[in-house]
């Protein structure tokens, strides 16, 4: 949409409010709501001032004035507010210079797209994330000096086969790790997922499918691929819709990667391809019908995987998913169709569908930073012709110990990921896509999470050590 298109839509739809939205460094969507009378052509061109010092990891209070520049191409009508509200995603700029603020995640994504074009390698980066999530009916947790605990429940969970319900227990539930594709009544999420997907389609998002996932109470909706910034915007809308439709059903949605002990965690596989002059750069005559550029792109992903983990797997909880035995892509290997490595080449009949799938990211990530970092690692691979080595076309989950020891892994903790990023960030700084200040500020934020986690006693430690 152009600015004039947006203003016409506001008039035609009788919009009463405009919700100005942006994303903080941790990936949380933030907003402020304006009366429609405050929104005109000047608003879109001049932006909206706000206090950047109130956002963790951004400005100090003596430099707190910042400006939000709305992107008219990102507008949509909010389906959840009682008053007709138009939403718009924004990029953060410095008010005195108008330049993109280096710590703004959306601005970083836009710089990554600009860098791709300036590199001459390609002009368009497509990505298709597959973000999984859990739905629960009851969630309680406590972190106090004398109590650290959580408890979750879902009526359709495998552990409720003998639970007593007021209307009786009807017994139709998928077992542990048995949730992949059963029909109702075992799959109790059909209607809620359908409403989520319809809501997204009504908001203008391109969507295609939904289904129950492997783990207890785990689900996934399908988004059709798009360009980097566009798709990061869409993932923010995806999370927003899922949280709010779940709330309307009296349920709670979470994108926390590993909320259930002993069951599969939620990943966010990211399908990626680069195009140039309307042609797919990744199609060729090499392994799995890939081009040299696609293989070098994989080489960059594998080389920088541990530094990437700080953006693709940015929570302490992420590393409770990235462990062997739960379909977790912990091994830095690639192959065609094989889902046990951290990079897969999905089967595709058409050269246009040829793509690379990173399987280690998870949905706790900030999508703007996650997608931008993956692109920068892949571009570094192409620029330096990084050989990914031989493919791994056997089941990596079932390798004998001596073979398994030969394959490098991704990080085992957020602490390790931050330490790796501190050592390996130069590939991100090319073209000023990421800045050193931005990366260091992000690392500082994440160290706070590491310390909070490491300094808090865990219930399992009581089980193991209380009577020692």
- The residues assigned a catalytic role are 51, 130, 132, 213, 220, 269, 339, 357, 359
Q: Is 169 annotated as a binding residue?
A: no
Residue 30 and residue 55 in contact, taking contact as beta carbons nearer than 8 Å: yes
CA distance 263 to 260: 6
Q: Is 269 annotated as a binding residue?
A: yes
Q: Are strands 268-276 and 65-70 parallel, antiparallel or unpaired?
A: unpaired
Q: Is 416 annotated as a binding residue?
A: no
Q: Are strands 147-153 and 65-70 parallel, antiparallel or unpaired?
A: unpaired
Does the N-terminal peptide bond of residue 185 adopt cis geometry, omega within 30 degrees of 0?
yes
Does the N-terminal peptide bond of residue 335 adopt cis geometry, omega within 30 degrees of 0?
no
Three-class secondary structure of residue 34 per DSSP: strand
Burial of 387 (0-12, 13-18, 19+ CB in 10 A): middle
In this structure, what DSSP letter does residue 265 have? P
CA distance 468 to 72: 62
Q: Is 352 annotated as a binding residue?
A: yes
In angstroms, what is the C-alpha Rg of the chain? 23
CA distance 297 to 116: 13
Is the four-CA dihedral 362, 366, 368, 374 of positive or negative sign? negative
The secondary structure element, H or E, covering residue 309 is helix 305-312
Q: Per the structure block, which two tokens stand in for 279?
A: 């042609």
Distances (CA, A) of 292 to 127, 248, 276: 19, 49, 15
Q: Is 219 annotated as a binding residue?
A: no
Residues facing 35 on adjacent strands = 17
CA distance 94 to 175: 53
Q: Is 132 annotated as a binding residue?
A: yes
Q: Is 233 annotated as a binding residue?
A: no
CA distance 247 to 87: 20
In which region does residue 86 sit, left (phi positive, over 0), alpha (psi from -120 to 50) or beta (all else)?
beta
Q: Is 357 annotated as a binding residue?
A: yes
Q: Are strands 85-93 and 17-23 parallel, antiparallel or unpaired?
A: parallel
Nearest-5° angle of CA 141, CA 262, CA 326?
A: 125
Q: Is 213 annotated as a binding residue?
A: yes
Q: Is 355 annotated as a binding residue?
A: no
**Overall size of the chain counted in residues:** 468
Q: Is 276 annotated as a binding residue?
A: no
b/e map of 41-58 (b: 16 or more CB within 10 Å)?
eebbeebbebebeebebb
Q: Is 59 annotated as a binding residue?
A: no
The binding site for Mg(2+) consists of 130, 132, 213, 220, 269, 357
The binding site consists of 130, 132, 208, 213, 220, 264-265, 269, 321, 327, 339, 352, 357, 359
The binding site for ATP consists of 208, 339, 352
């Amino acid at each position: 949409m152009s600015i004039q298109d947006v203003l016409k839509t506001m008039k035609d739809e009788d919009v009463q409010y405009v919700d100005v939205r942006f994303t903080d460094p941790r990936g949380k969507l933030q907003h402020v709501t304006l009366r429609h009378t405050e929104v005109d052509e000047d608003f879109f061109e001049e932006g909206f001032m706000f206090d950047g010092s109130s956002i963790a990891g951004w400005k100090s209070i003596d430099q707190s004035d910042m400006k939000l520049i709305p992107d008219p191409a990102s507008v949509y009508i909010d389906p959840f507010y009682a008053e007709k509200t138009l939403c718009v995603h924004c990029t953060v700029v410095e008010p005195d210079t108008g330049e993109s603020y280096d710590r703004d995640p959306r601005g970083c994504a836009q710089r990554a797209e600009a860098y791709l074009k300036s590199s001459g390698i390609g002009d368009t980066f497509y990505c298709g994330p597959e973000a999984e999530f859990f739905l629960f009916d009851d969630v309680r947790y406590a972190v106090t000096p004398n109590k650290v605990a959580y408890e979750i429940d879902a009526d359709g969970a495998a552990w409720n086969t003998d639970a007593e319900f007021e209307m009786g227990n009807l017994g139709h539930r998928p077992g542990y790790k048995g949730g992949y594709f059963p029909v109702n009544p075992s799959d109790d999420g059909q209607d809620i997922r359908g409403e989520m997907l319809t809501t997204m389609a009504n908001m203008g998002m391109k969507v295609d499918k939904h289904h129950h996932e492997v783990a207890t109470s785990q689900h996934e909706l399908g988004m059709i691929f798009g360009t980097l910034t566009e798709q990061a915007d869409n993932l923010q809308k995806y999370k927003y819709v899922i949280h709010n439709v779940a709330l309307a059903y009296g349920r709670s949605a979470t994108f926390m990667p590993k909320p259930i002990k002993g069951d599969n965690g939620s990943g966010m596989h990211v399908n990626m391809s680069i195009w140039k002059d309307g042609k797919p750069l990744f199609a060729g005559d090499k392994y799995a019908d890939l081009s040299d550029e696609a293989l070098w792109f994989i080489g960059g992903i594998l080389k920088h995987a541990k530094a990437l983990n700080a953006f693709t797997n940015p929570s302490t909880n992420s590393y409770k998913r990235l462990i062997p035995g739960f379909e977790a892509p912990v091994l830095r290997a690639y192959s065609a169709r094989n889902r046990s490595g951290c990079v897969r080449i999905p089967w595709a009949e058409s050269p246009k569908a040829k793509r690379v799938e990173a399987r280690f990211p998870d949905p706790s990530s900030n999508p703007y930073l996650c997608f931008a970092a993956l692109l920068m690692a892949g571009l570094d691979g192409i620029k330096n012709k990084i050989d990914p080595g031989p493919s791994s076309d056997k089941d990596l989950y079932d390798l004998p110990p001596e073979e398994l020891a030969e394959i490098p892994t991704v990080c085992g903790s957020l602490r390790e990921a931050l330490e790796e990023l501190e050592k390996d960030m130069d590939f991100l700084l090319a073209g000023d896509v990421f800045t050193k200040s931005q990366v260091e500020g992000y690392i500082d934020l994440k160290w706070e999470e590491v310390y909070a986690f490491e300094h808090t006693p865990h219930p399992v430690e009581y089980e193991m050590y209380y009577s020692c």
